[in-house]
Amino acid sequence: MGPGHKAQDDSGGVALCEGLTMHMTNPTPDDPIRCDACPVLCRIRLGQTGACDRYGNVDGRLVRTDPLVLLDRTMAKGGEAIPFHMQDQEWDGTIIRTPDVFVTGIGATTTYPDYKPAPFIVASEVDGVDFVTVVTEGIFSYCGVKVKIDTDRFIGPETAAVRAYGEQIGHVTTLEYGSQMLSLGGVHHLTGGTKAEGNATCEALLKLCNKEAVELSIDGGSTVIVQANRAPIIDGAVEMRMRVGCGSAVTGIFAKQWLDLVDEVVVVDEHITGVFTEHQAGRLLDVRPSGLKIRGRKSTPGRYFKVAEPGLGWGGTNLQDPLEIIKGFDAKTAWPGMRLFMVSTTGEHYAWYVLDDALKPQAAAPPAAIARLVERIAENCEPALCTVLFMGGAGGSLRAGVTDNPVRLTQSVKGRFTRVTCGGAPTYVWPGGGITVMVDVAALPDKSAGYVPTPALVFPIEFTLRLADYAAMGGHMGHVVPLAEVRARSDVVEIAAVRP
């Protein structure tokens, strides 16, 4: 809320910024202001800001230092007009449609200490239907980020500690088809450990949610630099590609393309290594058996587990020489001059061999057609990226800011009558109890997240629903203001919205 907005509160103080209270007796301009935006209760002197840098003492008034952000959904980068909802199209089944100008929670201030209505409850009209958007900046003690790192590299064992600034802030979780997952933050790291652990966790989460780079070290693994929508940097090397598939999948996908060019193909993969002539694809294509014997645990024909240990080499293994996984060749089946092609799941590593008279593979220059095949594999690999998903539970202060009976908001969200967004970006609401939201931070405007030194993250959240439904749930109807009134404020910035 903007400077100069005042209302008398029950304690005799002067309320500024919708619920932030300046407690003083016979105040003078030089007296410090106590900020009620979070449990820290900073006393802010003239010309200074609080510990979070979000509120300051300007001429004896408590002022939100960042403006309220409105998204103008009719414009995109470069000024080109893009209709957010095509008016000439039939209804697509969406229950909640949002206005072209959307009030976000960025810069809105909070509802702390929980008993106040949300800072902005804004009425608007969409296609003749009255809607309301309840807007706030939530203080999330129960929050974290899930990080998806597209890589074939082994960055550390599952459940290994992930550290930032020397403190554990999370752990490695599962590997999902070429993407390593990290779970960072959560209430135990924020508040359940040492002060240093909580501060390190909060700082790392804040940077990640604001699309900044953070260096993470993994016990028993690598050092990784993570940044939303950027390629990961693992042990100093920038990752370029995400695998097209496991070794078995690559074998099946490209089987027809290398059918007449090679006699045997081994797609080296730390998870599932594929062997062309044994694989079902090779059998159905009536490929001649090669007699190759490979190390590892056979799963099904042409599919092998544990051919090597995980690492930074071929296909996410520790191999620098792929021939280490070959035991030999059956003399009754293999033949001199047999062509052997070995490749990783991204095409980053490949080699061409020809068997000599002793059935030993000898390195040779690959034909031009093989080089084109490697290019085809690489073409089918998507660029390596880091994805940062904020995840938090919308607790008492958020829900009480919407209605006096918070369970009705939860029921409305689960019934899909209320749409939940963060900074205007779409969210995924987890099933089960509570309102647990997850959002891709890359879809939010820059610098959307803040913090309070409790420690906790401050993150925008909005609830949009029909005005009639809001009244029925017992919403704070006396605090509803029209969108035009919000847009007319001097402390509002309107930015172009670009769909993620």
Q: End of a domain among 379, 414, 446?
A: 379
In-domain check, residue 456: no
For the chain, residues with pLDDT lower than 70 are 1-29, 73-99, 114, 396-397, 496-500
Regarding whether 251 and 237 lie in a shared domain, the answer is no
Q: Residue 78 burial (CB < 10 Å; 0-12/13-18/19+)?
A: exposed
Integer-rounded Cα Rg, in Å, for the chain is 29
In-domain check, residue 437: no
- 414 C-beta neighbours (distance < 10 Å), count: 15
Length of the chain: 500
Q: What is the DSSP string of 191-207?
A: HSS-HHHHHHHHHHHHH
Regarding whether 123 and 178 lie in a shared domain, the answer is no
In-domain check, residue 439: no
Q: Is the pTM of this model over 0.85?
A: no
In-domain check, residue 237: yes
Q: End of a domain among 196, 225, 242?
A: 242
What is the helix (H) or strand (E) element at residue 162, kind and residue range?
A: strand 161-164
Closest-CA residue to 211 (of 417, 493, 445): 445
In-domain check, residue 198: yes
Regarding whether 167 and 270 lie in a shared domain, the answer is no
Which residue's structure tokens are 């609830």? 463
Which residue's structure tokens are 């939303």? 228
Regarding whether 234 and 288 lie in a shared domain, the answer is no
Tens digit of each residue's pLDDT (9 = 90 or more) over 145-190: 999 999 988 899 999 999 999 999 999 999 888 899 999 999 999 9
Tens digit of each residue's pLDDT (9 = 90 or more) over 224-263: 999 999 999 999 999 999 988 999 999 999 999 998 899 9
Regarding whether 373 and 253 lie in a shared domain, the answer is yes
In-domain check, residue 259: yes
Regarding whether 178 and 90 lie in a shared domain, the answer is no
In single-letter form, the type of residue at position 97 comes to R
Structural domain range at position 47:
6-64
Regarding whether 110 and 25 lie in a shared domain, the answer is no
Q: End of a domain among 347, 379, 411?
A: 379
Tens digit of each residue's pLDDT (9 = 90 or more) over 260-293: 899 999 999 999 999 999 999 999 999 999 999 9
What token pair was written down for 238? 């920038």
Regarding whether 350 and 261 lie in a shared domain, the answer is yes
In-domain check, residue 387: no
Q: How many domains is the chain built from?
A: 4
In-domain check, residue 129: yes
